[in-house]
Amino acid sequence: MKVLVLWKKWSPGVTSVTPGDHVVLGFSYCSHCENCLDGNAAACENMIELNFSGKNKRHVTPIHDLNNNDISQFFGQSSFAYHAVVDENNVVKVTKDVDIRLLGPLGCGIMTGSGTILHSLQAKPGSSLVVFGTGAVGLSGLMAAKIAGCTTIIAVDIHDSRLELAKQLGATHTINSLIEDPVAKIKEITNGGAHYSFETTGVNTVTLQSIQCLRVKGTMATVAVGKKDLTINVTNEIVVKAITIKGVVEGDAVPQLFIPKLINFYQKGLFPFDTFVQFYSFEEIAQAFEDSKTGKTIKPIIVME
């Protein structure tokens, strides 16, 4: 759940937005480290500090209570509120031609999933790609694979309802991993293994499957946050097969460049992410978290009115 807001006030020196603009809030980045200067904002060397320390570029917390005590800031925005104090780099100006309520999730998970396919993997037309986990991130990657021209797109999950939605969004094959061995089935479908795999679950067994399902010289990308250490035979699973494994943050995207592209894809009918969102009022935020946890809702959006 991310945020889209009506831009209201700005500090001197801010030039990218004006009052009344519609904006999406993405992640914060410094703009001056080596990676940022090289066009890799998602690999900002100060990413952790700027997004998870509660402080901004000036090393201060911009939000305070009535007694002037610091209030921690999450993801550089703390956007589960009616107002957010953010850095200009968090802000992406967007068109007013699309329902403002829809666009908030583009600032994180949807950008991460689609960017992983288009930027990190750079999936080639005619190739095969497997998505492990068909939540919002996985489904976004699946739709991006279709945009990229992948001709074999395989979705793997344990929920038939999500696999059915994956078919509607472009999957050519689906596998319920509670019923079938995904590695064997993928190798059967692709005649030896997939060119690419995209792992979104963080489950160790699934991570191994996302590596083992690849053909020689295949590439696996993961955005997942796992809770346990993973043991793997590097020689047998990676070296012998010349496998590439990529860890990806925020889809290797520059939000100000990529989010407008995603909106354009949506307007052209190529990226129908509205099929898996559900709106909740601010008062229903606890229910939104619960529905997300149970899988009832793939992508909850909190609407503050």
Tokens linked to 157: 């999950």
Instruction: Mention every residue, 6+ apart, whose C-beta is less than 8 A from residue 30.
Output: 36, 44, 45, 46, 50, 57, 89
pLDDT-derived band of residue 242, with 50, 70 and 90 as boundaries? very high
pLDDT for the residue numbered 5: 53
157 and 133 in contact (C-beta within 8 Å)? yes
- pLDDT category, 137, cuts 50, 70, 90? very high
pLDDT tens for 38-92 read: 999 999 999 998 888 777 777 777 777 788 887 777 777 777 777 778 888 889 9
Q: How far is CA 284 from CA 7, 160, 279, 300, in A?
A: 24, 27, 10, 10
Q: What is the pLDDT of residues 245-296, one digit of tens each?
A: 999 999 999 999 999 999 999 999 999 999 999 999 989 999 999 998 888 8
Contact (CB, 8 A) for 4 and 94? yes
pLDDT for residue 159: 93
Mean pLDDT of the chain: 91
| pTM for the structure as a whole | 0.90
CATH 3.40.50.300 fits 4-109+254-303, yes or no: no
Instruction: Kindly tell me if the per-residue pLDDT of 2 is higher than 50.
Output: no
Instruction: Specify the CATH architecture of the domain 114-249.
Output: 3-Layer(aba) Sandwich (3.40)
Domain ranges of the chain: 4-109+254-303, 114-249
Integer Cα distance of 272 and 146 in angstroms:
12
